[in-house]
Chain A
Amino acid sequence: MNRSDLMPLALLPILMGCAYLAIGNPAAWFTLTIAGVAMGMIIFTVASGMTIVFGLMDVLNFGQGIFITVGAYLSATVFASLSGYVVSPYLSENLLVILVAVVAAVAGAGMSGFLFERLLVKPVYGDHLMQILVTTGGLIVGEEIIKIIWGVQQVNVALPPFLSGAFVIADVAIERYRAFAFLAGALVFFGQYLVFTRTKTGLLIRAGVHDREMVEALGYGVRRLFVATFVSGCALAGLGGVMWGLYQQTLVPQIGSQMNVLVFIVIIIGGLGSTGGALLGAILVGICANYASFIEPKVALFSNIALMTMILLWRPNGLYPASAR
Chain B
Amino acid sequence: MTTSMDWTRLISRDRPGSRLLIILLIAIIAVLLVAPFALTGAKAISICVKIMIFAVLVASFDLLLGYTGIVSFAHTVFFGIGAYGVGIAIIRLGASWTSLAVGASAAIVVSVLLALVIGLFSLRVRAIFFSMITLALSAAAQTLATQLSNLTGGEDGIIFRLPPALMPSFRLLDTKIFGLTIDGKVVCYYFIFAMSVTFVLALLRIVNSPFGRVLLAIRDNEFRAEAIGYPVFVFRTLSNVVAAVFACLAGVMLSLWLRYTGPDASLSFEIMLDILMIVIIGGVGTIYGSIVGAVAFLVAQGYLQDLLKGASAALGSLPGIGKVLSPDRWMLWLGLLFILAVYYFPTGIVGVLRRPARRLDSSSKPSAKERLSIVYRWMGRAR
A residues contacting B by CB (< 8 A) are: 60, 62, 120, 123-124, 126-130, 132-134, 136-138, 140-141, 143-145, 147-148, 152, 257-258, 260-261, 264-265, 267-268, 297-302, 304-305, 308-309, 312-313, 316-317
For B143, give the chain A residue with the smallest CB separation.
A301
Q: Which of B38-87 contact A (CB under 8 A)?
A: 65, 69, 71
| Among B117, B324, B339: residue with most chain A CB under 10 A | B339
Q: Are A148 and B121 in contact (CB under 8 A)?
A: no
- B333 CB to closest chain A CB (Å) equals 9
User: Residues of A contacting B273 with CB < 8 Å?
Assistant: 136, 140
Besides A60-B128, A312-B121, 6 more A-B contacts (Cβ < 8 Å) are: A129-B69, A132-B131, A133-B280, A140-B338, A298-B144, A301-B143
Q: Are A301 and B139 in contact (CB under 8 A)?
A: yes
For A136, give the chain B residue with the smallest CB separation.
B276
User: Considering the chains assembled together, what is the distance between the CA atoms of A309 and B328 in angstroms?
Assistant: 38
B339 touches which of A60, A141, A148, A312 (Cβ 8 Å): A141
Of the A-B pairs whose beta carbons lie under 8 Å apart in the complex, a sample of 21, sorted by A's number, is: A123-B343, A123-B368, A124-B369, A126-B369, A127-B369, A129-B372, A132-B128, A133-B71, A133-B342, A137-B335, A137-B342, A140-B273, A140-B338, A148-B323, A261-B136, A268-B133, A300-B143, A301-B136, A301-B140, A309-B121, A316-B125
User: Considering the chains assembled together, what is the distance between the CA atoms of A139 and B360 in angstroms?
Assistant: 33
Q: Is the CB of B332 closer than 8 A to any CB of chain A?
A: yes
User: Residues of A contacting B137 with CB < 8 Å?
Assistant: 305
Contact mask B111-135 → A, CB, 8 Å, 1/0? 0000001000110110111011101
User: Considering the chains assembled together, what is the distance between the CA atoms of A21 and B147 in angstroms?
Assistant: 26
Q: Is the CB of B227 closer than 8 A to any CB of chain A?
A: no
User: Residues of A contacting B143 with CB < 8 Å?
Assistant: 300-301
User: Residues of B contacting A126 with CB < 8 Å?
Assistant: 369
Q: Are A148 and B324 in contact (CB under 8 A)?
A: yes
Q: Which of B325-383 contact A (CB under 8 A)?
A: 328-329, 331-332, 334-336, 338-339, 342-343, 367-369, 372
Chain A contact residues: over half helix, strand or loop, or mixed? helix
User: Residues of A contacting B367 with CB < 8 Å?
Assistant: 123
Q: Is the CB of B148 closer than 8 A to any CB of chain A?
A: yes
For A315, give the chain B residue with the smallest CB separation.
B125
User: Residues of B contacting A130 with CB < 8 Å?
Assistant: 342, 368-369, 372
A258 touches which of B71, B124, B139 (Cβ 8 Å): B139
- B223 CB to closest chain A CB (Å) equals 13
- A247 CB to closest chain B CB (Å) equals 19
User: Residues of A contacting B117 with CB < 8 Å?
Assistant: 309
- B182 CB to closest chain A CB (Å) equals 42
